[in-house]
Amino acid sequence: MNDKQPKRACILIVDDEAANLKLLDRMLGGQGYENLILIQDPREVVTAYHENRPDLILLDINMPHLDGYEVIDQLNRLRDPLLPPILILTAQRTKEYLLRALDSGARDFVSKPFDRNELLMRVRNLLDAQLAHRVLYNQKDVLEQMVRERTGELHHTRLQVVQRLGKAAEYRDEETGCHILRMSHICTLLAREVGWSEADCDLMLNASPMHDIGKIGIPDAVLLKPGRFEPREWEVMKTHSEIGAKLLEGDDSDLLRMARDIALTHHEKWDGSGYPHGLAGESIPQAGRIAALADVFDALTSERPYKSAWTVEAAVALIKENSGKHFDPALVDVFLRELPNIIAIKEKFAEPEKR
């Protein structure tokens, strides 16, 4: 500890006797302490505390208006994690009196009349401890900031992996990056409207692009077939849900857990006629139900090499018809209410014009 640091520390001295304040000012000032705040009225302590942020408080006990115990109580109620040590100044020598002061939160005491050497030693020891505590506290802040930054880096890296996985699935079939953007933003809009927190909506935004990651494992002969699937081919195609879930399992992050749920269940249907497990109703994770609705709507209204884009009106009619069958009826109600915003998302992330 640099020897100059304690001398620059702020010391708050509270005593209703002007003579005591003058004596302490002379004793400490003569020892080189530069920042002494003298208070004769204990009602001014809290205000002075906020203005000066002292490193040590010398406090008399027997004072008018507020005694030392009441002052300590006011300071404790501030809940300051760096509350400085309190050195009691007292003419009382009874054990009960001193124990009450220590039990209230005081760190040490000095008896009146003051012994100069004892006072200076106790002041120096308490300041050294407080300044060391302040250094540790500041280091804790630095470490916490480093942890936050590192956590942010890991989160960013995880999102990069997720986004690249989503793009990998796009390269396998005729879907585009714009579909992924539209679908994920529609999912996020619906999630927000059914009451998800902003943190969970952020997870949805970044997890839903991996809904078809399992298509990586589907043979080209099936995945890229331009016409209708034969029954055997359709069974192969349906396995992409479970393939995607297997690719995403084994990580305990909220992001990849949600991504796995979506990949596995976005082809389940409300009435239990979907795949891969024939789940029905609320046994389907809500994330999967949301993704199912957003994915179907955008797929219907998007052009593909093997089909023309449906009109929004036609797609909405099909969704209404399948409310309670394919889709969660409560989500369909939200979808219809938010249709103008969903159309705005489609326009914002529209396919680039072909040259």
The DSSP H or E segment spanning 10 is: strand 10-14
| Alpha-carbon distances of 151 from 132, 158, 221, rounded to whole Å | 28, 10, 42
Q: Give burial (CB, 10 Å; 0-12/13-18/19+) of 194.
A: middle
Average pLDDT per block of 10 residues along the chain, 355 residues long: 66 94 92 92 94 93 90 91 88 76 84 86 89 77 74 70 68 66 94 96 92 89 84 94 91 87 97 97 98 96 81 96 97 97 94 66
Planar angle of CA 289, 185, 251, nearest 5 degrees: 65
What domains are there in the chain, each with its CATH number?
4-144 (3.40.50.2300), 173-348 (1.10.3210.10)
Quote the pLDDT of residue 172.
61
Quote the pLDDT of residue 96.
78
Q: Give burial (CB, 10 Å; 0-12/13-18/19+) of 156.
A: exposed
pTM of the model: 0.59
Q: Give burial (CB, 10 Å; 0-12/13-18/19+) of 106.
A: buried
CA proximity to 289, closest of 320, 326, 322, 319: 326
40's CB contacts (< 8 A; 6+ apart) are 15, 16, 17, 18, 21
